[in-house]
Amino acid sequence: MNTEKFTCVVCPIGCEVTVKGQKDNIEKITGFKCDRGKKYAKNEFLNPTRILTSTVKIKNHDLPVISVRTDKPVSKDEIFDCMKIIRNTEIEAPITMNEVIIKDINNTGVNIITTKK
């Protein structure tokens, strides 16, 4: 049985939540003060995800790079593979805010979008 501890970031309380279980099966969750903390710890244990932010090179623009992010969370296991793709991407101005520049990155169902014009 694995035991992992998480600091919940859903609210300012910052509960120390402990999860005991196997990779796909949770046996016990303790330390949460609300259902949101329990849900957060469960998700972090079973399938942790993050919004990925980065920059890509841009041609014909005032700046050499432009900020981008995922349009929804991506599995932590996919972050480094996604970054390899982002690192090798170069776009050309003009662009619009929230424009999809990489669709379905690494077959995750997640898009990379611009955060500025």
Give per-residue pLDDT as tens, 17-26. Answer: 999 999 889 9
In terms of Cβ atoms closer than 10 Å to its own Cβ (0-12, 13-18, 19+), residue 89 is middle
| 20 beta partners | 3, 28
In terms of phi and psi (left: phi > 0; alpha: psi -120 to 50; beta: otherwise), the region of 88 is alpha
- Indicate the pTM of the whole model: 0.86
Share of the chain above pLDDT 70, in %: 100
In terms of Cβ atoms closer than 10 Å to its own Cβ (0-12, 13-18, 19+), residue 112 is buried
All structural domains of the chain with their residue ranges: 2-46, 53-114
Pick the CATH number of 53-114 from 3.30.930.10, 3.90.1170.40, 3.10.530.10, 3.30.470.20: 3.10.530.10
Confidence of residue 7 (pLDDT cuts 50, 70, 90): very high
For 60-98, the pLDDT digits (tens) are: 999 999 999 999 999 999 999 999 999 999 999 999 999
